Amino acid sequence: MLAGPTVIPQEDELAGTLPPDLVDDRAPDGDTTILARPDTTVRMSDVRRSELVAIAPLLVLAVVLGLFPRLLLDVIEPAAVVVTQLVAR
C-alpha cells in the first residue's frame, strides 16, 4: 500500500451515516471483503490474475535490462550516433 494503512471507522463513529450492509471489513492479509448481498460475502485479492499476467512480462523485462543493459544499448547506439552527428553540424 502506498498511502499507509486503511482506517475503517467503528460502528459508533459512523453514527448512522452508512447502512450496516454497505460497511466492508478489511482482512489482516490485505484482502477486501465485499458484501454481495446482505447475507453473502465475496473475497477479493489485491491483484487479479489478469493484472498479474499484464505486469509479469514488464517486471521480467526490467530485471533483464537491469542485469544486461548492453542488450538495449546496442540497439540504441547507432541511432544516437546519427543524431549526434546531425546536431554537431
User: What pLDDT score was predicted for residue 1?
Assistant: 46
Rounded Cα gap, residues 1 and 30, in angstroms: 9
User: What pLDDT score was predicted for residue 82?
Assistant: 96
User: What pLDDT score was predicted for residue 38?
Assistant: 63
User: What pLDDT score was predicted for residue 45?
Assistant: 73
User: What pLDDT score was predicted for residue 17?
Assistant: 56
pLDDT tens digits, residue range 23-71? 555 555 555 655 556 666 666 678 888 999 999 999 999 999 999 999 9
Report pTM. Answer: 0.45
What the block records as the C-alpha cell of 39 is: 447475507
Backbone angles phi, psi at 45, to 5 degrees: -90, 170
Radius of gyration of the chain (CA): 25
